[in-house]
Structure 1
Amino acid sequence: MDELFWIKLINEAIPFLLLTFLGLVTYKGFKKNQNIISEKEDLVKRYILFRGDKQARLKIYGNNKEVYQELLKNISDSWKNFKKTYDQYMINLSKNMKKTKRLLILFTFGLILNSGRLLGEEYYFFGLKSRFIVTLLKELSYYILVFLSFFLLKTQIQRFFSPKSEVSQIDREILFFPNSLSIDEEYESLYNEFDPINLKGEEDGK
């Protein structure tokens, strides 16, 4: 009686633990992906403001060829700084997705092995009877969470990595058409991020 109890307990505990770990991996992976995506989007918004300020300065100093050329050079340099940070976010997103996917596959494989073991035992001792069908349906229900985990993560980042998706390209293209063109002291932090070196030529043109 005691042996039967422990066997049933182990049979119930194994899938429970595997699904618990699978759920935790999905949650942590999804949360980290979302943080990276949010930071990337914030970076794009900040750079749009920065570029808007630069575009305004280009209009103001358009008649001063030396300052104008210096501004263009700094726009190019700031773009390189932005692109480097932007690409790093995409790399981090890809790495986290691959890591999460590997762990999900690992726990799914463990779940499959356990299901195979239980179904093999049921078939060996009881054959293809109603008990085997009940066990089969019970085991299949566990894979709903597996399917949802993979589907959720795929949906979250598909728009960034799908061959048919142009989100990354669009993100960069809109930087050349900022909505706001203004000059204000609040842009100082943006200059520190994208253009940390003050322009001597620009200051001389003021």
Structure 2
Amino acid sequence: GISVIMGPNGAGKSLLLRLMHGLIAPSAGEIRWADTPMNSQMRRRQAMVFQKPVLLRRTAAANITHALGLRGIVRSERRSRAYQALQLAGLERHAFTPARVLSGGEQQRLCLARALSLDPEVLFLDEPTASLDPASTLAIERLLLEAQHRSIKVIVVTHDVGQARRLAQDVIFLHHGRLIEHQSAQRFFMEPESDVARAFIASGLVL
């Protein structure tokens, strides 16, 4: 399913994502998955897409094959998996295009294709469509729904209430670094329990 993390600026959404992915260590307590403390093997079963595309100075295909190599995928499999991922993202005609000359929307789709090529159990995304046009946003959302169809757990941070309504099965709402609500999407949008959540849904702005 798709879980959406929402909240105003400074709520701690991106920080929570980085903690869950093991990019930073908690100052107290620990991160646990299925009652097991976070470790390097668990992190290898995850993938993350950032708000700003992070790409190598290589072709689109090479960005994916490089990531597959780092995950230990044998060379004979890398090319076919990369092409399948590019095809899924509608980027197969750009396989040999330098990644950094692609449009912003294409670059973000490439980042998502690269993440999906790793066949993760959990996929984290931090505001993946924040600076994209509506068509590119729709393309990203379709890929997230495809990931869900593949039984990948998707956890996405977004400010976009409309996007959350379209995608979320459940919503995690943060405010000032605290978990305020965790509800099914239907209940969160119909009957939010907190004043700050109601204000956010109404305007997207909470001080």
Tell me which protein shows more helix as a share of its residues: 1
- TM-score, length basis structure 1: 0.19
Tell me which protein shows more strand as a share of its residues: 2
- TM-score, length basis structure 2: 0.19
Higher RCO, 1 vs 2 (CA within 8 Å, ≥6 residues apart): 1
